Amino acid sequence: MTNTTNKKTGISRRSLLKTGAAAVGFAAGSGAITGFPTIWAQSNITLRQFGTGVSNLNAIADKCKADLGITLEMTATDSDAAAQRAVTQPDSYDIADIEYWIAKKVYPTGVMQPMDVKKLKYYDKIVPLFITGKLTPDSVIAQGTAPHTVGFVEAQDSKTFAKEPTQWMTMVPTIYNADTLGIRPDLVGRDITTWADIMDPAFKGKAAILNIPSIGIMDAAMIMEAMGNIKYADKGNMTKEEIDKTIDFLIKAKQDGQFRAFWKSFDESVNLMASGEVVIQSMWSPAVAAVRSKGIACKYQPLKEGYRSWGGGLGLAAHLKGAELDAAYEYINWYLSGWVGAYLNRQGYYSAAMDTAKQFMSEDEWGYWVDGKPAKGDILAPDGKVMEKAGAVRDGGSFVERMGKVACWNSVMDEDRYMVKRWNEFIAA
Amino acid sequence: MTVALNQPATVAATKPARRRRFSVAALAPYLQATPLALILGAFLLLPILMIVVVSFWDYDFAAMYPDFLTTNYADTLGSWVTWKTYLNTLKYAGVVWALTLIIGFWVAYFLAFHIRTTAMQMVLFLVCTVPFLTSNIIRMISWIPVLGRNGLVNSTLVQLRLIPKPIEWLLYSEFAVVLAMVHLYTLFMVTPIFNTLMRIDKSLIEAARDAGASGWQVLWNVILPLAKPGMAIGTIFVVTLVMADFSTVQVMSGGQSASVALMMKNQMSLLQYPAAAANAVVLLVLVLLMVAGILRIVDIRKEL
C-alpha cells in the first residue's frame, strides 16, 4: 500500500533534477538581471551546457545569471546519449557536463579543448583526488576510470591523457559521490558489513541490483571480490574471462531466486525499498534520502571493501574562442568559488573545491555533510524541507572517511560491447 | 479499378479523340488514394525502409556508419538470448491471447445477447472503456501495491489467516506480467467481438432453435462461426500489442523477464541503433507472418 500514497514524494527529488534542466532555458531567459552584473550583463553571453542531469540544476542557472549575467542553457540527457552527442554534434554545445568515464571515450576524438590551469582561479583548491588520485598522501589509488587518469593532457593540442598533472586540464570536477548498498535496518535483522552480504541466503528474494550494465557490472564485481570468488586485476577494465565469470555467477544467483527485481530508474529503487519488497540493494544516495523522507528507516551502509564512486566535470568544446571562451572560464571560476559547491554539498554530493564551499555553509551543515558530526539542528534540503532531524549522523561519516575508501570508479571497459551482450543474457536468463 | 485503368488505355490507342475522358477517369481514383498513400508512405513505409537500411550499418559508441554488413543479423539470430527471448515473448502472446479471447468473448456475448435494450448495451459497453480514461502506465503500476509482498491481496490473506506468510509470486513474476497484460488488452478483444455479435441476424438464432438446436449447439454452430472475424481482428490487436510490449514486462517482472521489445530498448539506450534495427526487422517479419496466418484462417472482409 505504501506505494500509491508515497509515489509522489518518491519522484519529487528526481523530477526536481530532471525537469529543472528543461525549465532552465525559459527561467534563465526571462529572468531580469539582478545582483551584481558584470561586463557579461551587457554583452548577453549565452553558454550552452549539456550533460547527464545530476548537476543540471535550475538553481545554478538562476544564480549564474544573477551573479555573472551569463545565461546558461542546459540540456539533460542520459549518459550514453551524452557521450554520443559530445562526439557527433560538437557545435551544439559550449560546455560539456559529463562523467569522467565518458570523457575517456569523448576527449580523444578531439571535440574538446583543455583548460589552462593558470586561468583557473581556484585550481589550488580542487580536491587532490582529481589531481593526483590520492585524497590524502597515503591513500591507495582506486581501480576503474579514476578521474585523475583522464584529467590532464600533455599539451594544449594533445589528445592523449597525461600521466602526471600538467598545465592543461581536460575537465574541472563538478560533482561526485561514493555509492554503496542501501539497506532497511529494521528488516535485515543483522549487521551488514560487506558487499557479499547481498548474496546471503537469508535475503533470498529480497535483494536487488541495478539493471544499468556499466554500473551493475561494477556492483557485481564488488560482490564477487568480497565473496572471494575472484580477484580482478582491474574491476573497471575486465578481461573477457572475468566478465564471463561474473555474469555466470549472476545468472546462477538469479536462477536460485536471490533477486526480487532489477531496477532501472531512481523511483523504482525507492519504491522497492519503501514497500519492503527488497531489504538490501544497490542504491544512489538521493534515493536513500527519498526513502527516509517517507519516515521509513533506510541506511546507506558503508562496507569494508569500500565504495564504488562516480564523478563528473565541466569540459570546454573545441570551438570556443574569444569572448565566449573568456565567459566559459569566468563561469567555471564562479562554479568553483563556493556557492555552487555549498548547494551540491547540501544535497549529499561533494563539490570540487571543498574549502570555498565551506564559506557558504553554516557550521552545522558543514559538520553534518562533510565532517560526519551529529547534526545540532534540523538539516534542511535546498528547498527547505527537513532532510534529517537534529542528532542525525551521515551514513559512512565524513568526507575523508567516505571518499578515502573508494575501491573503484565508474568506468568504460575495453570489452564494453562484449560485457553488454553478456549482461543482456543475464537479464534474459 | 482495373476496368478504369485498362479500358481507356486500349481505347486511347485506337481513338485519340477520347483522350480527355481517359485522363479524368483514370486520375480520379489516383487522386482519391493520394492523401492516404502520402501519409502511409511518409510515416510508415519510409521509416520502415530506413530501419531496414540502418539494420545493415556498422556502429560504435558514438555514431553509425553506412555500410552493408550482415553482422547485426548474425549477432541477433545467432544468439541463444534472442531465441529464448522470442520464445518467452511468444509464450506471453499465446497465454494472453487465450485468456483475452475467452474473457473477451464472454463479456461481448453477455452484452450482445443478455442485455435487452440497446441503450443499456451502450451504457455497459462504455463502462468497459472507463479504465481507458487513465493512462496505460498508471493502470499497470496500480497493480504493484495490490500484488506486493505487503500489498492488498497478501495483507488481506495473511490477516484472514488463510496463508501463513505472503505469497511471493504475485508480483515480479510471469504471473504478474500476464495478469497486467490481460487487464490492459481484454477490451481490444471485447470491442470487435461485440461488434460482430451485434450484426448477427437474430432470425438465424430463431431458425436454429426452431430446427431444434440446443443452447450450446446455437452457440457452437451459429454464433461462434459468425463471430470469427471479430475474434480475428481482436487477435491481431492483442498479439501485436503483446509482441511489441516492453514496459509491462519490465515493470511487472521487476526486470527479471525479457521481451523482444525490451531487448531492443536496451540496445537503443546503449545507442546500438543498427542492432536494434535488425531486431526490429526480425520482429516485424515474424508479426507480419502471424497476421498473414490469421488472415488465412479467417477472411475478415468476406465475413464482415
Query: Looking at the predicted structure, is the pLDDT value of residue A15 above 80?
Result: no
pLDDT in tens, B196-232: 999 898 899 999 999 999 989 999 999 999 999 999 9
Query: Looking at the predicted structure, is the pLDDT value of residue B39 above 90?
Result: yes
Contact A81, B272 (CB under 8 A): no
Residues contacting A299, CB < 8 A, separation 6+? A182, A183, A184, A185, A288, A395
Query: What value does the mean pLDDT take over residues B151-161?
Result: 92
Interface of B with A (CB under 8 A): 61-63, 75, 79-81, 84-85, 88, 142, 144-145, 148-152, 155, 168, 171-172, 250, 254-256, 258, 263, 266, 269-272
C-alpha cell at A368: 553534518
For chain B, domains (ranges, CATH) are 1-54 (no CATH), 75-303 (1.10.3720.10)
- The pLDDT of residue A8: 38
For chain A, domains (ranges, CATH) are 2-178+308-361 (3.40.190.10), 181-305+398-428 (3.40.190.10)
Residues contacting B140, CB < 8 A, separation 6+? B180, B184, B247, B248, B251, B252
- The pLDDT of residue B303: 55
* Integer Cα distance of A11 and B202 in angstroms: 55
* Integer Cα distance of A176 and A410 in angstroms: 11
The count of residues in chain B is 304
Element (H, E) at B48: helix B46-54
What's the DSSP call for residue A161? B
Query: Looking at the predicted structure, is the pLDDT value of residue A3 above 80?
Result: no
Query: Looking at the predicted structure, is the pLDDT value of residue A6 above 70?
Result: no
Question: How sure is the predictor about B21, in pLDDT bands with cuts at 50, 70 and 90?
Answer: low
C-beta atoms of A428 and B256 within 8 A: no
- The pLDDT of residue A37: 43
- The pLDDT of residue B116: 87
pTM over 0.80: no
Compare CB distances from A83 to B61, B250, B272 and report the shortest one's residue.
Answer: B61
Q: A27 or B79, which is more confident?
A: B79
Chain pair A-B, CB pairs under 8 angstroms: 92
pLDDT in tens, B48-75: 999 999 999 998 777 788 999 898 999 8
C-beta atoms of A277 and B172 within 8 A: yes
pLDDT in tens, B248-276: 998 899 888 888 998 888 788 777 889 89
Query: Looking at the predicted structure, is the pLDDT value of residue B183 above 90?
Result: yes
Nearest-CA distance B48 → chain A (Å)? 23
What's the CA dihedral at A167, A168, A171, A176 to 10 degrees? -30
- The pLDDT of residue A26: 41
Quote the mean pLDDT of chain A: 86
Residue A174, Cβ neighbours under 10 Å: how many? Answer: 26
Q: Read off the amino acid at residue A374.
A: P
Nearest-CA distance B71 → chain A (Å)? 14
pLDDT in tens, A366-421: 999 999 999 999 988 777 788 888 899 999 999 999 999 999 999 888 888 788 88
* Integer Cα distance of B253 and A335 in angstroms: 43
- The pLDDT of residue B227: 92
